[in-house]
């Protein structure tokens, strides 16, 4: 009998999923030139990938509740490896984008660790453990663009996808050996899940937490879609330099995750989400005002992004724990649905950022999108707090 997976395994699963999203971002402008397409077309490798991830999370969550966490992870990794080979062999932008979309199957390795934590822990303790898992995986997106930018300059953009494949093989071997099943009783049938869906769908708490996570992370996804353009066109940075600056949100996120892991059991989910949402909005609003005043400097832009990462590091582990606590037996479904909403919103914002950023536009459109998204996240958690206050008064 396999034991429940170790924390390192959960971090590795989440990390390889995060790596596949952002390791090649500094290469996007160069990839567009190689495939002889506009930047907006190549940017679909981010926004369309995120959209496909949303659909797959909707499927992966219920499947992990029914068939277990282990088989979903193993088959997801196998599919990712096959798709990675396709991206390396692609000779046209269309072929590349098809296999890039197929790579999004790795998104199950993002939702399953969250569900595993909820299988093993309750409430604020689950939020704390999610903080530790996401703190560990934050190192991957922090270092990946730096590494990816250097690989691009040394060997070309294909090297980034070769690294994805090698790491995918290593994580598959680790998961096969250590990924014990945490779903009890053989999983909940899809019919039984459908009976419980209306209860989940009618919960104000569930939707409040979902919106808080979706809109807070939406600012980050917009950044993913627009930052490579801003780095090259506005600040005149090389791919490697863009990669270095890309560490900014991950450094902030790492610290925010640590604060969540340390203080969520003491302060509670809602207060941590509220503080994180305020940090995001204040930092991005300040950067937008500075940009509108005519000051253009990467330190201002990426400094605000680092603070946004700090806020998201506090919001997301707690919001995810909150949405999965509504119906614990549907932890995988809640994780998948919440994650799908987050990445679907992120896909839209990422595509919007790519469409609005044109030569001469500066960073203003991107910062405006991110500020609006952060404001929405703050309003969502305020709504949850208000509803809980009303229920407490009624009780």
DSSP characters over 158-217: HHHHHHHHHHHHHHHHHHHHH-----GGG---HHHHHHHHHHHHT-HHHHHHHHHHHHHH
The reported pTM is 0.70
Give the pLDDT of residue 382.
Answer: 92
Pick from 59, 37, 91, 11: nearest CA to 336:
59
Q: Give the helix/strand (H/E) hosting 87.
A: helix 69-89
| CATH tag, 7-181+188-394 | 1.20.1250.20
Residues in contact with 204: Cβ distance below 8 Å, sequence separation at least 6, in sequence order: 383, 384, 387
Q: Check: CB of residue 25 under 8 Å from CB of residue 42.
A: no
The SS3 call for residue 134 is helix
Give the pLDDT of residue 277.
Answer: 93
The SS3 call for residue 357 is coil
Residue 216: both structure tokens together: 């807070």
Q: Check: CB of residue 202 under 8 Å from CB of residue 109.
A: no
DSSP characters over 203-265: -HHHHHHHHHHHHHHHHHHHHHHHHHHIIIIIS---HHHHHHHTHHHHHHHHHHHHHHHHHHH
Say how far apart CA 301 and CA 360 lie, in whole Å.
17
Ranges in the chain, pLDDT < 50: none
Give the pLDDT of residue 362.
Answer: 73
Q: 45, exposed or middle or buried, with CB in 10 Å at 0-12, 13-18, 19+?
A: buried
**Longest CA span, the chain:** 64
């Amino acid at each position: 009998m396999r034991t429940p997976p170790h924390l390192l395994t959960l971090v590795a699963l989440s990390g390889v999923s995060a790596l596949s999203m952002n390791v090649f971002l500094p290469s996007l402008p160069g990839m567009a030139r190689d495939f002889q397409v506009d930047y907006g077309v190549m940017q679909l490798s981010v926004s369309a990938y995120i959209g496909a991830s949303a659909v797959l999370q909707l499927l992966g969550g219920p499947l992990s509740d029914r068939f277990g966490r282990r088989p979903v992870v193993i088959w997801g990794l196998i599919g990712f490896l096959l798709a990675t080979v396709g991206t390396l062999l692609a000779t046209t932008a269309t072929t590349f984008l098809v296999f890039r979309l197929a790579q999004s199957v790795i998104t199950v390795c993002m939702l399953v660790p969250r569900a595993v934590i909820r299988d093993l822990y309750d409430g604020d303790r689950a939020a704390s453990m999610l903080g530790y898992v996401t703190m560990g995986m934050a190192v991957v997106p922090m270092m990946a663009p730096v590494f990816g930018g250097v690989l691009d300059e040394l060997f070309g953009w294909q090297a980034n996808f070769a690294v994805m494949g090698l790491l995918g093989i290593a994580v598959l071997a680790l998961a096969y050996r250590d990924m014990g099943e945490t779903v009890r009783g053989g999983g909940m049938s899809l019919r039984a899940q459908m009976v419980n869906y209306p209860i989940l769908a009618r919960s104000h708490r569930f939707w409040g937490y979902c919106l808080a996570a979706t809109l807070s992370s939406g600012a980050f996804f917009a950044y993913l879609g627009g930052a490579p353009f801003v780095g090259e066109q506005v600040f005149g940075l090389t791919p490697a330099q863009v990669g270095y600056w890309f560490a900014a949100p991950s450094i902030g996120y790492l610290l925010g995750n640590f604060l969540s892991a340390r203080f969520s059991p003491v302060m509670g989910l809602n207060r941590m989400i509220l503080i994180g949402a305020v940090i995001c909005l204040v930092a991005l609003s300040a950067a937008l005002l500075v940009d509108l005043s005519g000051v253009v400097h990467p330190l201002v832009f990426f400094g605000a992004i680092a603070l946004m990462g700090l806020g998201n590091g506090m919001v997301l582990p707690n919001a995810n724990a909150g949405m999965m606590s509504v119906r614990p037996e549907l932890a995988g479904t809640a994780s998948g649905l919440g994650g799908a909403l987050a990445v679907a919103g992120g896909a839209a914002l990422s595509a919007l950022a790519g469409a609005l950023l044109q030569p001469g536009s500066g960073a203003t459109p991107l910062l405006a999108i991110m500020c609006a998204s952060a404001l929405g996240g703050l309003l969502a958690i305020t709504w949850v707090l208000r509803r809980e206050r009303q229920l407490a008064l009624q009780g």
